[in-house]
Amino acid sequence: MLPERLLAGPVALRHFTAADAPRVQLLAGEREVAESTALIPHPYPDGAAAAWIATHESARATGTEFTYAITESGEDVLIGAIGLRPGPSEHESFGYWIGRPYWNRGYATAAAQAIIVLAFEWLDLDELTASHLARNVASGRVMEKCGMRLLRTETRDHRGTPEEFCVRGITREGWARVIGSDAPGQRPRVAETAKR
């Protein structure tokens, strides 16, 4: 069982609640956020966020997907989302988004590092992969900062148009090297936290 709440540097991860639905629609519904992802609808329909949040518990129970709300550390207000899919999936192992007002503060990197820790240290996975549009430099940078190597590029359908994607991956050994090579003060620290 994965923890319900985690602290990861500047961000905290927790399970979604129904009360997060309006923030999901507001933040993920922005064109600049939705457009870079495979699955977020745009425009974001009324009711879709609540329906999506309602799928989380059964996905967790079957182990198919673990989705976390991202908040700023010490806060409860939703700023983004990250999901880990441990099994084989056409969309790779994890994906994330951060609301536009919160970009470039290191939040996606901290959340992705927390997910990598969960995958290797809690779920005992051997490898994680993720992909991003080649033109999505920020997402590529997030993955690079997590030590994810470029495995290949490929052309895929993206929202109805062929686009170039970068597929990146990290192995358990690669992650151990990332942690080992960082200055101790820079190492990603992930801690399970109690309910507020």
Residue numbers of the site for ligand COA (CB under 6 A)?
33, 36-37, 95-98, 103-109, 132, 136-139, 141-142
Helices 107-117 and 137-145, interaxial angle, to 10°? Answer: 50
- Comparing CA positions, the residue from 153, 151, 69, 149 lying closest to residue 115 is 69
Name the token pair of 39. 């699955």
Report, in Å, the least distance between residue 43 CB and ligand COA.
16
Choice between 2 and 33, CB closer to ligand COA = 33
Report, in Å, the least distance between residue 27 CB and ligand COA.
9
Report, in Å, the least distance between residue 46 CB and ligand COA.
21
Report, in Å, the least distance between residue 89 CB and ligand COA.
14
Name the token pair of 79. 């700023």
Choice between 104 and 161, CB closer to ligand COA = 104
Choice between 25 and 139, CB closer to ligand COA = 139
Choice between 97 and 175, CB closer to ligand COA = 97
DSSP state of 9: T
| Rounded CA separation 193/196 (Å) | 9
| Rounded CA separation 121/2 (Å) | 10
Report, in Å, the least distance between residue 187 CB and ligand COA.
16
Give Cα separations from 143 to 6, 68, 105, 119, 147 (angstroms).
20, 18, 15, 15, 6
Choice between 144 and 173, CB closer to ligand COA = 144
